[in-house]
């Protein structure tokens, strides 16, 4: 079962996967997988993993900071948008979490998944107005 955290502090320091919830209030031009695209104002979920020192807590702390050097595709989104929190999945893979959201659109092919042979994208567009319990229910199998 997923745990939702609004800050990195309660996230575990072990490795695992996360689904980062980010709101964009204005259109954002992004580049991923050799493609340029514009993300519309909406809520997005980015599925990622944390395997390094500090695990999920460290990775989420980085994503939740606005000021940072761009390193990953998701940095474009987190620097421009508002990180609302994240669902954390200790010991799981980002592809498993992404699979739980298979019914949601992938707005940019290759976004966050340029090194993944399984997933078209690790970024999902959330349905307009989808309440947190609806989203949470998608992660029951992840």
Q: What is the pLDDT of residue 59?
A: 96
| Beta strand extents in 12-81 (DSSP E only) | 16-24, 28-32, 35-39, 42-50
How is the chain split among helix, strand and coil, in percent rounded to 5? 20, 30, 50
% of the chain at pLDDT higher than 70:
94
Q: What is the pLDDT of residue 25?
A: 96
The whole-angstrom separation of Cα 123 and Cα 109 is: 8
Cβ neighbours around 139 below 10 Å, total? 19
Q: What is the pLDDT of residue 132?
A: 64
Q: Taking phi first (over 0 means left), then psi (-120 to 50 degrees means alpha), and beta for anything else, what does residue 85 get? A: left
Q: What element of type H or E holds 141?
A: none
pLDDT at residue 133 is higher than 70: no
Strand partners, 49: 17
Query: Could you tell me the pLDDT band of residue 1, with boundaries at 50, 70 and 90?
Result: low
- Find all residues with CB under 8 Å of 98, minimum gap 6, and list them: 47, 113, 119, 122, 124
What are the pLDDT digits (tens) for 59-90?
999 999 988 887 788 999 999 999 999 999 99
116-140 average pLDDT score = 78
Q: How, if at all, do strands 16-24 and 123-125 pair?
A: unpaired
What are the pLDDT digits (tens) for 82-122?
999 999 999 999 999 999 998 899 888 877 777 778 888 99
56-61 average pLDDT score = 97
pLDDT at residue 142 is higher than 60: no
Q: What is the pLDDT of residue 18?
A: 95
């Amino acid at each position: 079962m997923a745990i939702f955290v609004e800050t990195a502090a309660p996230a575990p320091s072990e490795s695992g996967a996360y689904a980062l919830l980010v709101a964009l209030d204005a259109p954002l031009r992004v580049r991923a997988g050799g493609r340029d695209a514009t993300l519309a104002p909406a809520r997005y979920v980015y599925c990622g993993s944390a395997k390094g020192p500090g695990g999920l807590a460290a990775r989420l702390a980085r994503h939740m900071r606005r000021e940072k050097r761009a390193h990953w595709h998701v940095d474009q989104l987190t620097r421009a948008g508002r990180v609302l929190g994240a669902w954390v999945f200790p010991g799981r893979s980002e592809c498993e979490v992404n699979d739980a959201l298979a019914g949601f659109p992938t707005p940019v092919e290759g976004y966050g998944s340029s090194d993944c042979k399984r997933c078209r994208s690790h970024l999902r567009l959330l349905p307009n107005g989808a309440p947190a319990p609806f989203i949470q229910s998608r992660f029951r199998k992840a």
